[in-house]
Structure 1
Amino acid sequence: MRYKILLIEQDGSSLRVLKRVIGKANLDVVVATSLTEAKIIFDQSTPESFLCAVVDYYLPDAEHGEAIDFAISSFVPVIVITSQTDQDVRERILSKAVVDYIPKSNAQIFDYLSRLLTRLDKNKNVGVLVVGGNTKNRNEISTLLGRHNFLTYQANSTENALSTLQKHAHIKLMICDQNIPASTGVDLVAQVRRRYDKEQLSIIGASDKNEAALLASFIKSGANDYLRKPYCHEEFFCRVLQNVEYVEQIELIKKTANMDYLTGIGNRRHFFAQVGDIMGRKPDSMSLALIDLDHFKSINDTYGHDFGDLVLKETAKLMKKHFQSACISRFGGEEFCVFMHGVSQQDAFQKLDDFRQAVSERTFKRKSQRVQCTLSVGLAHTSNAKLETLLGQADELLYQAKANGRNQVVT
């Protein structure tokens, strides 16, 4: 679903720039230059179609933030922009249930707004667990997180927290109060860290005690960060976003390191790590296939490397479809590898032959160019061989498939 942003802004120059920023975030912009126009737009739309509203604090018919109240009452998250930097205006804005406010005098306003809009969309799939404290405190934190579209969960004990983390893999952050029945926040952090490292889950410790020793205890037990209560709205969100983005950045680095840049499937390094882990558990049966696209060099030479890249990417897509429960990898060039475990030799052969046939029947298209391609497969099967042995056997069988005329699976 492509979301819309309701932009309520009356200044022409700001309006032009803001429309470009929102457009770059791949979001549609609906513009109102007054509160009256905004109300008409809402009468003709459903609030669910809006990701949020970006609202100027001052408008000709809403001089004191009335447009903010209207958007909030319409159940739309609100980001406030303002040229007024007075402390009383800031406090008035932050007393409302807004996502954030951005002073127009800030030179980084547009970069920050773009990042914030992207986050509001991303956060719909990010879980945050709030643990400990009293029910009122947990509800207040969950309400704040809800403004940023996070999926929130609550736990009032160590057992509930551990159970919730196990059930919901999309939880990227845990906010843990020091006060937990029959335990402490510091003890819970230590327990969680035995199961989840900092690359999987960020943890923010929280307490109303102004003790440096408690802060140190949280950090030493494995927390990433610490919040002293009471905290201000802006500090809370800065720490939350920073810690969520830390986990996401690590995930991105790992994904980039393990992925083949062209096809989007695993690379050779990731394949060896993944398969080595599976073989270490000693499965009953293992099948490894080396797959090579036939006469691929002639495709590059005749149609160009761009077309060759297209063939590789489309072949990888077909592999994802045919081998959903297997380990697949691009080994380099036009060579791919598939590893299956717990599958009989006959079933492995049939899966690979179905894939071979699907590729041979596929027409690869680019502009006016049309090409059909075949592939050859060497399939090795075992119950106890080492990975290096399987690879060697599959390589010999692939050579036989080529020598026997290509477009076949040899096992």
Structure 2
Amino acid sequence: MTPDPLAIRFQPTIAPADGRVLLIENSRSYAALLAAELREQLGIGVVIAASLREAQQRLAEDDDYFLALTGLVLPDAGAELITDTLARAGIPMVVATGVYDEAIRSSMADLPIIDYVLKEAPGTIDYLVWLVRRLHRNRTITAMVVDHSLSARARIAAQLKLYGFRVLQADDAASGLLALEEDPAIRLVILDQDLEAEGDAGGIGFIRQARRTHPRGTLSIIGTSSSADPSSVARFLKNGANDFLEKPFSREEFFCRISQNIDNLELIGTLQDLATKDYLTGLPNRRHFLDRAERMLREDKGAVAMAMLDVDHFKHVNDTHGHEAGDEALRAVAATIAAHARPNDVAARFGGEEFCLLAPGLSAEEAETGFERLRQAIAALRIPLRNHTLQLTISIGVCHRGDGDLHALVTEADRLLYLAKARGRDRVVCESQEAVA
């Protein structure tokens, strides 16, 4: 059976990890307030326990907890028993307490406690919501520790796992670079500056090579060193490290630096999305499409198929059912186009109800067959509205060329789209042109 040239092969965005928070708190009002904020802002399930016995019952009923938020005073238990119980259950903890006690904190240094938070401090609720969000999102991120010391590597890896990351380890720069090349999910590297160098493969060499393919906005590299030489720290940062930690560092400092760097990566990603994606459909916008298409045509000299797609009678949808229904229709069409796009195809919302898709490596016949299947898939959509199910059709103009002229491709595909509209809509009109020598 010949595979569909526009089959579903794209990689979906990783969804947030599942899991719930166990909130152990003897103050019902405080617990209710914090649980409401977590549910409303993060959409995360929160289970409240007012005593240690109740918490143990919840743990026995369900083990789907990625975090425990706990106080240190309960009707049936004190600090040591509470934290020991959660540690034995293997659940990372955030302690929210009304009293700062350095002796208690020191006695719990070896327990899986991520942070200590004073409940009465200003902004505590907001901080806890941020903290839970960060730990929840970490579960979709891979971190790597590159350090020649087995003990140091294991200690840092254990901390990262406590924070929810999937963790890889490498004992030299070459192994770390290979892992970075093979695993695109790595977003964070904790790198020992004092790696024993072989040629240009030490700590500085690792950064220089990594930055050739992984800019600061997609990979955060945090250097570590036991050296007190400030000039070496500056060299590390100038060569591309995002941050630096001097050994030994505290658990709190480590967590803060890690979280700030990951937050920065996500902020950069959000800004990039705002600049390159259509706000309504999530597809690339027109400007980003043109930039990517130009690069593709420069790199790929073969024939490409350029399609312009327009939703039929879209104004009637808005006038009859309202603009909210129109937005739902555009999202449904965009999702169908994205699902039919191959990894190397470039799809976008061109403007209004018009979309485009540039597909390299297809013959004229494959392009016609593939876009006809896309037309049929959109015609088969049933979009639920409040009191109605909406059906749509789409007209498609497909140009097939090999001259690498993006303007000519867009212009011709747009002309063919006009013909599809003129011939009755809900159809694909194609026209091939042999590659210009």
TM-score above 0.5, yes or no: yes
Identity %: 34
Deviation at 1:330, TM superposition (A): 0.8
Aligned to 1:254: 272
Which deviates more, 139-148 or 3-12?
A: 3-12
- Structure 2 partner of 1:392: 411
Residue number in structure 2 paired with 1:349: 368
- Gaps (5+ residues) in structure 2? 1-16, 431-437
1:23/1:282 Cα in 2 relative to 1: closer, same or farther (>3 Å)? closer
Query: Where do 1:171-210 residues align within 5 Å?
Result: 171-183=186-198, 184-210=202-228
Residue of structure 2 equivalent to 1:59:
74
Q: State how far apart, in whole Å, the 2-side matches of 1:245 and 1:323 are.
A: 31
Distance 1:235 1:384 in 2: 56
Aligned to 1:238: 256
* Per-residue CA distance 1:215-272 (angstroms, 9 max, x = gap): 1111111111110111111001100111112112111211222111111111101111
Report if the CA contact (8 A) 1:124-1:151 is conserved: yes
User: Post-superposition, which runs of at least 4 consecutive aligned residues in structure 1 deviate over 4 A?
Assistant: none
Which moved further from structure 2: 57-66 or 162-171? 57-66
Task: Check the 8 A contact 1:100/1:234 in 2, yes or no.
Answer: yes
Return the structure number with greater helix share: 1
- The residue aligned with 1:41 is 58
For residue 324 of structure 1, report the CA deviation from its aligned partner. 3.6
Aligned length: 409
Q: Name the residue aligned to 1:382.
A: 401
Of 105, 112, 118, the residue aligned with 1:103 is 118
Q: Is the 8 A contact 2:286 2:348 kept in 1?
A: yes
Aligned runs of 1:3-402 on 2, under 5 Å? 3-24=19-40, 25-45=42-62, 47=63, 49-183=64-198, 184-325=202-343, 326-402=345-421
Write the distance in 2 (CA, Å) between the matches of 1:363 and 1:230.
Answer: 60
Segment of structure 1 superposing worse, 337-346 or 207-216: 207-216
Given that residues 133 and 178 in structure 1 are in contact (C-alpha distance below 8 angstroms), is that contact kept between their aligned partners in structure 2? Answer: no
Measure the CA separation in 2 of the matches of 1:220 and 1:264.
36
Q: Counterpart amino acid of 1:291?
A: L
C-alpha contact 2:144 2:186 (8 A) present in aligned 1:
yes
Counterpart amino acid of residue 33 in structure 1: A
Once residues 229 and 301 of structure 1 are traced to their aligned partners in structure 2, the CA distance between those partners, rounded to angstroms, is 65
* TM-score computed with the length of structure 1 as normaliser: 0.95
In 1, the alpha carbon distance for the partners of 2:79 and 2:319 equals 68
Gaps (5+ residues) in structure 1?
none
Tell me how far 1:127 sits from its aligned partner: 1.2
SS of structure 2 residue aligned to 1:410: strand
Could you tell me how far 1:2 is from its partner in structure 2? 4.3
Deviations along 1:108-134, one digit per CA (max 9) or x if unpaired, are: 211111112112221111111111240
Shift of 1:93: 3.7
Q: 2:148·2:172 contact (CA, 8 Å) conserved in 1?
A: no
**What letter matches 2:270 in structure 1?**
L
- Which stretch shifts more, 364-373 or 329-338? 364-373
Residue 32 (structure 1) shift: 1.9
Whether the aligned pair in 1 keeps the contact of 2:395 and 2:420 (CA below 8 Å) is: yes
Q: CA deviation at 1:357?
A: 2.2
Q: Structure 1 residues 258-267 or 192-201, which shifts more?
A: 192-201
Partner of 1:320, secondary structure, is helix
Contact 1:2 1:28 in 2 (8 A): no
Deviations 1:321-369 (A, max 9, x none): 2224421111111111111000111111111111222223334331223
Deviations 1:68-103 (A, max 9, x none): 111011111111111111222332344422121111
Secondary structure at the aligned position of 1:331 is classed as strand
Quote how far apart the aligned CAs of 1:276 are: 1.4
